[in-house]
Amino acid sequence: MARGELLEQIYTIVAQIPEGRVTTYGRIARMTDGATARAVGSAMGHLPSGHDLPWHRVINAGLKVTEHGGAVRQREKLRAEGVAFDAKGRVNPELLWP
């Protein structure tokens, strides 16, 4: 399995996340054939300009948005899709996409 295909799998999976739902880096990694959570995070951080992936629906294992440069914008997008956060900034586990 070529290395670049893992990224392709990651992009494909992220593109499948339904609106209003979320998933984690680790889950995506498990869905691919060999990628790791770190690889998924790296992929999200190196997304080429002009992409159409719902990157904002990918959160960390703690069901929270990882603090990074676009975290605020990410929360806004999720909020706009109807994703609610609790007092600790955590997302409802029921919104997890398999």
Partner DNA sequence: CACTTGACTATAA
Partner DNA sequence: CTTATAGCCAAGT
- Footprint of DNA on this chain (CB under 7 A)? 3, 6-7, 24-26, 34-47, 55-56, 58, 60-62, 66, 68-70, 74, 88
For DNA, give the closer residue by CB, 3 or 94: 3
The nearest distance, CB 72 to DNA, in angstroms, is 12
The C-alpha R_g of the chain, in whole angstroms, comes to: 13
Q: Can you name the residues that pair with 51 across neighbouring β-strands?
A: none
The CB-of-82 to DNA minimum distance in angstroms stands at 19
- Torsions phi, psi for 65 (to 5 deg): -80, 120
Kindly state the smallest distance separating residue 50's Cβ from DNA, in Å.
Answer: 13
Sequence-ordered strand ranges (E) for the chain: 23-24, 58-59
